[in-house]
Structure 1
């Protein structure tokens, strides 16, 4: 057995298809975690803790990497999805979890679709209900189309890159105190007060079922076994770092505003940052980020829920493959 595994590892070669799958799984996981709540939490915590919030971001990224690598390695090496492993631990546990995840995914997506509707309203002035309906139709179209998984990969990558570019632009315009943020990255003020923010950040990234999205995407592509551990490690770390990059950029953008004495609008903290930095057009620009975050979360949440439900019965499995 040991010789076989060693031989398998030697046979693995990183191809163009692997690169596309790597990017797809990375952005599926990362953009799934980056939703409307992600934007609001980052803005609120930055306003509350200022540059010391950098420490919370760093520590949460370290914890996230450890948790995600562990989950993804177990799933890909065994070739089993999360619910299948749960059923082996305790008969029926995976089925119970799948049902809970389907219910939770539906609840989360109600919020995500509403967020996308608000984003389209900010960009184009569309009625929120119409914007939400457009989002729902687009999402359904992706899932029922031929080659839906490839389209999903492209859409999540595009939305992820779009968010990073827009938020990076706002950050540079905000001109935050980089030196102060770097100092408090390792020497925060009142570190014990950051425990709750750290737990919140970790919970929002790898504390729920979204951390399974990327690993299930890899399994759906037929990749499994110990030979793919280097690939899995790279994908898992890249997913967390992608999320961390966007959170850091948004943190710095907000920091650049709050250090000037500006009080964020409590009804929509991240939007007020964009408006302060960019003026009236900032509301439209924030709408782009909000729509991208919400739309990608809709896709990620729906896909993850489907991968948990697909093993409940053979008929469901056949219809989702």
Structure 2
């Protein structure tokens, strides 16, 4: 029995009509959960802060960066979701099948980056609760981490994860949309500059793509699909629709957040982006909607951080399974996930914050994971489609995926240089 097959629910052949309906409902829930897990993982505390910073400096022209990140998402996520579904293997197992040993390298990079960034996610959850309820940030981080642990300790953790990420994702969209309406952004200007910007800043696109697609995020939704039993060519149309829906949800969340902050910036408010201690997103929400805006920001930031904690832990542990020769049961994976979150929490409580040098170093690793993983997938698509993907593979998707891989290598080189300069100081 392979590692990946141990966690996939079996189809209820021979079951009664009620069982079939229950199974179909569970699968739909898992598909929706996969969509929102990908979307909410891509909208973490770092992304929210980056969006506020770039919108403050670039104004409406940053809309083009949002569009570019969504198009790159399409090239990456569609290929990854389809290949993982066609093969029925997790990314690390699929990589090992094509190039022995490569899956282990990919797993180490993702687990390391996910663990370190989870320290930042827990810190972000603490800051969110601080803004929302006024509790101490360290206590807020502790409460949030324990909540995430409680989810994975529950015997039906998969179902709870699906529901939590969907509810929190909808809350994030709803509150941010409210602030966007209240702030009154120049919609016409934003739409024009989405496709015809006054200026194009490739550094911002690099940063946004690396932070919203790099590392574990690329694989979070696809691995969640495997847990729903959506493996094999018979599910490829459904999976493709889910991938496109996930990209659309991500794009909507990003654009609404951008509009909320653009409305504030366009009104003449100057956001403080001069120091690492500044919180421009919180300033924007408060400027737009007063005290309620600040509380709403706290809830949005907390929801983004908590779903990122869940996404990072779930996806990182799904890569650890490659080292288990006999595979892992779902219950065992949940215990590993609990341990993963506990280690992140202990580091956060010991340090009081996410250490800058460690986060910058992990950011460099995260930037490398995207091109390494995507290059492996393009290698599989071009040279091993018949053996591992069950036949021919879309040439169009391979071409756009290869272009995205080339771009991701450029972005990795651009982002890794400042990392070494920072660490060398």
- Give the TM-score normalised by structure 1: 0.91
Cα deviation code 1:156-197 (max 9, x no counterpart): 001100000000000000011111111112211123xx2122
Q: Tell whether 2:247 aligns with 1:240.
A: yes
Cα deviation code 1:239-260 (max 9, x no counterpart): 1111111111111111111112
The one of 295, 301, 318 equivalent to 1:290 is 301
Cα deviation code 1:75-94 (max 9, x no counterpart): 10000111012212332221
Q: Per the alignment, in what secondary structure is the counterpart of residue 310 of structure 1?
A: helix
The one of 99, 103, 106 equivalent to 1:94 is 103
Q: Tell whether 2:217 aligns with 1:206.
A: no
Q: Per the alignment, in what secondary structure is the counterpart of residue 91 of structure 1?
A: coil
Write out aligned runs for 1:221-240 (5 A).
Answer: 221-240=228-247
Match of 1:252 in 2: 259
Match of 1:31 in 2: 40
Looking at structure 2, the residues matched to 220 and 77 of structure 1 have their Cα atoms a distance apart, in angstroms, of 14
Match of 1:8 in 2: none
State which drifts further: 160-169 or 231-240. 231-240
Looking at structure 2, the residues matched to 291 and 251 of structure 1 have their Cα atoms a distance apart, in angstroms, of 18
Q: What 5-or-longer segments of structure 2 have no aligned partner?
A: 1-20, 335-425
Structure 2 vs 1, CA of residues 235 and 118 (structure 1 numbering), >3 Å: closer, same or farther?
A: same
Q: Post-superposition, which runs of at least 4 consecutive aligned residues in structure 1 deviate over 4 A? A: none
Q: Per the alignment, in what secondary structure is the counterpart of residue 215 of structure 1?
A: helix
Pairs aligned (count): 307
Q: Tell whether 2:310 aligns with 1:299.
A: yes
Match of 2:287 in 1: 276
Match of 1:320 in 2: 333
8 A Cα contact 2:173 2:253, kept in partner: yes
Q: Per the alignment, in what secondary structure is the counterpart of residue 169 of structure 1?
A: helix
Q: Per the alignment, in what secondary structure is the counterpart of residue 263 of structure 1?
A: coil
What displacement does 1:209 show? 2.1
Q: What 5-or-longer segments of structure 1 have no aligned partner?
A: 1-12
Q: Tell whether 2:202 aligns with 1:195.
A: yes
Write out aligned runs for 1:1-321 (5 A).
Answer: 15-191=24-200, 194-266=201-273, 267-314=278-325, 317-318=328-329, 319-320=332-333
Looking at structure 2, the residues matched to 186 and 48 of structure 1 have their Cα atoms a distance apart, in angstroms, of 19
Looking at structure 2, the residues matched to 299 and 21 of structure 1 have their Cα atoms a distance apart, in angstroms, of 15
Structure 2 vs 1, CA of residues 111 and 316 (structure 1 numbering), >3 Å: closer, same or farther?
A: farther
8 A Cα contact 1:311 1:317, kept in partner: no
- Give the TM-score normalised by structure 2: 0.70
Looking at structure 2, the residues matched to 273 and 152 of structure 1 have their Cα atoms a distance apart, in angstroms, of 30
8 A Cα contact 1:31 1:156, kept in partner: yes
Looking at structure 1, the residues matched to 149 and 42 of structure 2 have their Cα atoms a distance apart, in angstroms, of 20
